[in-house]
Structure 1
């Protein structure tokens, strides 16, 4: 088996048939689709069973444990040499698996990352081309400056994923970035291609919310992961903390500014961005609207993709 496509599913009944149709229409025969119903309550699991007539589609049902656990279970059941992840509300474009497979087999890479497009056909920017230093990618991801897919629109050599899908269930946001960072810290060979292989569905409701307690847990796990190259990645880690703390400040949690935000800025060894220096100097009543305006501008730019 060449490729296993892992599809975690939780209450996405309106998207499943479209997702499976695109996957099973790929121009490769030596593939399998591993669908993991993560305890859905909207009939998604039943629909998966109804659509499982194709021998290439294998359906598994598990109690609800979260998306990372569903992906991990899917990888454990997979028979392919390579792994591709697809969210059930998204689509893999025609010829995508062939493109990804050819790239990873021809380059002998451990991971190949392509580009994606939004539902209105706008393609993500091409940031990298060819082989890229994994440390540079880690730095971009944790500092919130990555403009490339971190999980989907990519193909992984199965062995490189070992130990990278053990994120606790309490991590309900950013788990895909953490998984990719764990992969990259293994110093794999990563190759970028300028091919659009994935259609990302914008506007699908997401009610997940990270609490401060969960943010602290996430930061502990991230710091542990970065430990082998801490001197190189410390600044990027602090920038990650600043961006996450800003979310809480925008929601009115000004104690986060006093207890965490200012302290985090103080630990940056050098090169504090101008924006962060300005916000740091402002009094609390002024810093909140500045941060909120800044984040609104960023969100507008992201939705224009």
Structure 2
């Protein structure tokens, strides 16, 4: 936040008199500790007030401490404000709840809070999840009158490639002339995302298999966020068949016999060494991820699956 070293005040009207709420604990980020003071004392501040994004402030060190009155030595807790019981007698005060403190939500990124956001009961802030987390729900947080945040944002920590070295199968396997080669399904999850078909070894189904599919067992159930496919590139023979990757459907499922929950679709045609990213906007749950198409030679140089634990 940009509040460090500033005393923030918010103008209110009580019994037809303006009051200033001055923020004591701005710098440490542990919450707000407010004190109300008389509006007439505003003229004792040595610097000009700045009205910005709904807040009025001046440099903290320019404020005389006697403006706090009885609140200077109050025992108010963090996220409480000190208010005078009688505004004509500074010796009397009470501590009341002032705000909800710093939101304690795993994975939340407070640096994305909007400029107009402010602390205080019934105020709201707008935020999002940090890098490395996937977000569901809105980024709006509302500070309720009981001092607790109301929100529906959930930040799930994204995992690394879930498919790496996991068991994989496919509808058929291309073995080349005289069956001396073996472009098996596991070659798409071996961690090598090179795209030279001969050198890097990609998985590939047989010609004549006109409804080919490839499937990986993640060995646990995850919310799937995206699937990445590394398409075949130019090989050592100078052969370009990258356009074979087309009309690709990605589905998920909880069991190997039922992998029909949609994730996404790639119309293609693919290009040389193309990285095809297929997002799963509905965050389907699945243990098995299936890639299928309706033309022969399904070639996958590498497949990466991303998501987070259920």
TM-score normalised per structure 2:
0.25
Larger proportion of helix: 1
Rg larger in structure = 2
Q: Which has the higher contact order (CA 8 A, sep 6+)?
A: 1
Q: Could you tell me the TM-score, scaled by structure 1's length?
A: 0.25
